[in-house]
């Protein structure tokens, strides 16, 4: 049994989106696999943007920051699900990451280097997009995915990091959508 955290990164909590179906499929598989699972829905949170180093260093972070940090500390595996917006993750998800993965929680700068604090956790990034995933990977070189993987997650000690790219969602038929949901359900059962 693994402790899994699903971070639903779609900023619209009012309407059902394919990202929500993906997260639910993963969770369903994880429950069937006997895993302990928790979820954070970014769209339900009031996340302010950090505007200065002083705000980031604030000794009294908001409750959603403390809750997010507690969930990350609890988790062994973290799954991020979000749509690709303007070539990267939605701003609300990035704002949440900046708030939650603060210095002294996720890492500590020491001299000319840093010490990662989130060792022992793995992650899986699931991104939906309107373009074909092959275009994102080969033409755009998956720059935002690589940045998230290397400059945020691995920097904090989270590895290995796997990813699933689901492209052409706006033109995808129901059969293909169901096939992806079955894949995500299987990943949930396997805690991958």
Q: What is the pLDDT of residues 41-96, one digit of tens each?
A: 999 999 999 898 888 887 777 889 999 999 999 999 999 999 999 999 999 999 99
Rounded-to-integer distance, Cα 188 and Cα 130, Å: 24
Q: What is the pLDDT of residue 59?
A: 72
Query: Alpha-carbon torsion 169, 175, 176, 179, what sign?
Result: positive
List, for residues 22-33, the tens digit of each pLDDT value. Answer: 999 999 999 999
**Residue of 77, 96, 89 whose CA lies nearest to 33:** 77
Q: What is the pLDDT of residue 57?
A: 80
Rounded-to-integer distance, Cα 15 and Cα 141, Å: 31
Rounded-to-integer distance, Cα 153 and Cα 92, Å: 17
Place of tokens 């603060």: 102
Task: Return the minimum-mean-pLDDT range out of 10-19, 32-41, 50-59.
Answer: 50-59
Where does the pLDDT of residue 111 fall: very low under 50, low under 70, confident under 90, or very high at 90 and above? confident
Determine the Cα angle at 181 with ends 180 and 185, to 5°.
Answer: 120
Strands (E), 42-146: 77-83, 107-110, 113-116, 122-128
């Amino acid at each position: 049994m693994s402790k899994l955290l699903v971070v639903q990164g779609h900023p619209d909590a009012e309407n059902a989106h394919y990202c929500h179906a993906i997260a639910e499929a993963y969770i369903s598989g994880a429950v069937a696999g006997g895993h302990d699972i928790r979820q954070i829905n970014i769209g339900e949170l009031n996340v302010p943007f950090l505007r200065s180093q002083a705000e980031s260093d604030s000794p009294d972070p908001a409750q959603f920051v403390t809750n997010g940090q507690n969930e990350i500390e609890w988790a062994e595996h973290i799954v991020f699900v979000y749509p690709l917006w303007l070539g990267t993750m939605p701003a609300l998800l990035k704002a949440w990451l900046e708030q939650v993965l603060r210095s002294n929680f996720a890492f500590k700068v020491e001299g000319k280097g840093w010490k990662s604090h989130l060792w022992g956790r793995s992650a899986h990034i699931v991104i939906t997009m309107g373009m074909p995933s092959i275009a994102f990977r080969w033409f755009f070189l998956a720059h935002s995915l690589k940045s998230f993987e290397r400059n945020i997650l691995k920097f904090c000690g989270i590895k290995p990091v796997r990813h699933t790219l689901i492209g052409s969602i706006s033109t995808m038929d129901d059969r293909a959508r169901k096939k992806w949901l079955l894949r995500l359900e299987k990943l949930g059962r396997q805690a991958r």
